[in-house]
């Protein structure tokens, strides 16, 4: 919603908004854009009555004061996703990135490649690139790149948000069970993805990893669009048009191979992990279908600076490096830790995790959580008041030294202590984590 506010302001609308706690980097972006925002509601904020109220999809159920005021006063309203689709995307070539994992990073990669190629794309990203102060921009080019989330649209529209975007080029990064607060099971998620695929035109393009059973199952339900498949290994079985070859163990370099041309170039960058190799391949293919030559796209991708809170170094001392990461699902946690393990070798890795998403806080994936940290040497779980189950369950038969904490200030002190060996602390949450990021940054300084 913050990114939509930025787009609306750039498009010439007068914008202000209400939400609960808004934390950096989004709070900084809104302030810099001179968008008035409030963390508590007062009816005076909607005076004079606005021409349109855009309603988000989080923490706004029937009965909450601002929503009831909008309905009682008969103010015109719509959802954020529908406004984006009808107001911003209607005349653009839309490149959408959907899937359980990797959406933000892949979207940012495509934006970076197109921007470096001077295509000046519009974009909406669920994060902020490292070298940028923008998560959204209208752009003057014909392309608009959007992170396409499967979460429901609003209290009055239970379709997935991405169904409003009608992409021309669609990436499906992966498909797993998530969002247990709104989806009963994986089939319910597949149903939404099936309708997304049906919205891609016949002269468009769908880009998917090969040998992904759940993605293939959705495609088999009906697809009228050309499909480009990719693999992160040349030895993979099955048909694919692109693959990564000669991949360094930590994912920091890989060859890009096209099935007709052979090797077309090599990506060498600052990112790590097999998941980022997959993200990078998908971004290259999307950029190619958007009109950029592969060798040019590879050159630009190699200089991609990353995304804030995606393995972003936020603090450092002689013995310790602290990273912030947005990992929101057991699979993402595992991929992140495997990537850092390959990068640092035998140096110590400590995973510090707040299982904050609705799915994890409800305990839906608790068995997967027990197994996702094997690449770390130690694991620290933060039991916040919003978690609906006792994390002590994760201590039973833990494969690594594991503990539960409830005091963030004490945890910061512990993490800042001088270590006897090189140590990498990976702090993972999809929220503010009680302000731990800023506290660690301040403490290390």
Give the CATH number of the domain where residue 42 resides: 3.40.50.720
pLDDT of residue 363: 60
Last residue of a domain, one of 21, 46, 80: 80
Percentage of the chain surpassing pLDDT 70?
95
Question: Within the chain, which residues score under 70 in pLDDT?
Answer: 59, 127-131, 179-181, 237, 328, 357-365
CATH number for the domain including 235? 3.40.1190.10
Please indicate, yes or no, whether residues 76 and 147 belong to a single structural domain of this protein: no
**Backbone CA torsion sign across 260, 263, 264, 269:** positive
Please indicate, yes or no, whether residues 145 and 250 belong to a single structural domain of this protein: yes
Please indicate, yes or no, whether residues 278 and 314 belong to a single structural domain of this protein: no
Please indicate, yes or no, whether residues 189 and 231 belong to a single structural domain of this protein: yes
Please indicate, yes or no, whether residues 360 and 439 belong to a single structural domain of this protein: yes
pLDDT of residue 358: 61
Please indicate, yes or no, whether residues 159 and 240 belong to a single structural domain of this protein: yes
Last residue of a domain, one of 80, 102, 120: 80
CATH number for the domain including 386? 3.90.190.20
Please indicate, yes or no, whether residues 123 and 152 belong to a single structural domain of this protein: yes
Please indicate, yes or no, whether residues 186 and 240 belong to a single structural domain of this protein: yes
Partners of 229 in beta bridges: 208
Please indicate, yes or no, whether residues 52 and 123 belong to a single structural domain of this protein: no
Last residue of a domain, one of 62, 80, 98: 80
Give residue-wise pLDDT tens across range 20-29: 777 777 788 8
pLDDT of residue 67: 92
Q: Global pTM?
A: 0.81
pLDDT of residue 223: 96
The total of structural domains in the chain comes to 3
pLDDT of residue 359: 58
Structural domain including 409 reads 310-444
Please indicate, yes or no, whether residues 290 and 330 belong to a single structural domain of this protein: no
Please indicate, yes or no, whether residues 289 and 253 belong to a single structural domain of this protein: yes
Please indicate, yes or no, whether residues 230 and 96 belong to a single structural domain of this protein: yes
């Amino acid at each position: 919603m913050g990114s939509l506010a930025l787009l609306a302001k750039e498009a010439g609308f007068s914008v202000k908004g209400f939400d609960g706690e808004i934390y950096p980097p989004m709070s900084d972006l809104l302030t810099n854009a001179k968008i008035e925002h409030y963390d508590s509601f007062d009816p005076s904020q909607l005076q004079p009555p606005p021409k349109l109220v855009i309603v988000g999809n989080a923490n706004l159920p029937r009965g909450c004061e601002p929503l009831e005021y909008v309905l009682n006063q008969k103010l015109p309203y719509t959802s954020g996703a529908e406004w984006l689709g009808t107001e911003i995307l209607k005349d653009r070539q839309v490149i959408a990135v959907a899937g359980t994992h990797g959406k933000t990073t892949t979207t940012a990669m495509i934006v970076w490649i197109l921007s470096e190629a001077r295509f000046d794309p519009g974009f909406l990203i669920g994060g902020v690139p490292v070298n940028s102060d923008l998560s959204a921009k209208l752009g003057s080019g014909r392309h608009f790149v959007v992170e396409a989330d499967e979460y429901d649209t609003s209290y009055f529209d239970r379709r997935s948000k991405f169904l409003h975007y009608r992409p021309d080029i669609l990436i499906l990064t992966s498909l797993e069970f998530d969002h247990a607060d709104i989806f009963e099971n994986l089939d319910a998620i597949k149903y939404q993805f099936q309708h997304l695929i049906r919205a891609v035109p016949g002269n468009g393009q769908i880009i998917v990893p090969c040998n992904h059973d759940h993605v293939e199952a959705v495609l088999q339900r009906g697809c009228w669009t050309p499909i480009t498949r990719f693999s992160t290994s040349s030895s993979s079985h099955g048909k694919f048009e692109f693959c990564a070859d000669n991949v360094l163990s930590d994912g920091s370099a890989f060859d890009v191979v096209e099935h007709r041309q052979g090797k077309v170039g090599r990506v060498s960058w600052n990112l790590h992990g097999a998941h980022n190799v997959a993200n990078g391949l998908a971004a290259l293919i999307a950029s190619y279908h958007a009109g950029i030559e592969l060798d040019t796209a590879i050159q630009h991708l190699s200089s991609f600076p990353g995304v804030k809170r995606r393995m972003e170094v936020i603090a450092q001392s002689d013995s310790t490096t602290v990273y912030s990461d947005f990992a929101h699902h057991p699979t993402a946690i595992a991929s992140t830790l495997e990537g850092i393990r390959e990068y640092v070798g035998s140096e110590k890795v400590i995973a510090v995790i707040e299982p904050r998403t609705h799915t994890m806080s409800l305990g839906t994936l608790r068995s997967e959580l027990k197994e996702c940290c094997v690449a770390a040497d130690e694991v620290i779980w933060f039991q916040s008041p919003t978690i609906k189950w006792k994390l002590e369950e994760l201590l039973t038969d833990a494969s690594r030294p594991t503990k539960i904490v409830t005091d963030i200030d004490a945890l910061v002190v512990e993490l800042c202590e001088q270590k006897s060996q090189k140590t990498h602390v990976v702090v993972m949450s999809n929220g503010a984590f009680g302000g731990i990021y800023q506290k660690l940054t301040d403490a290390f300084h």
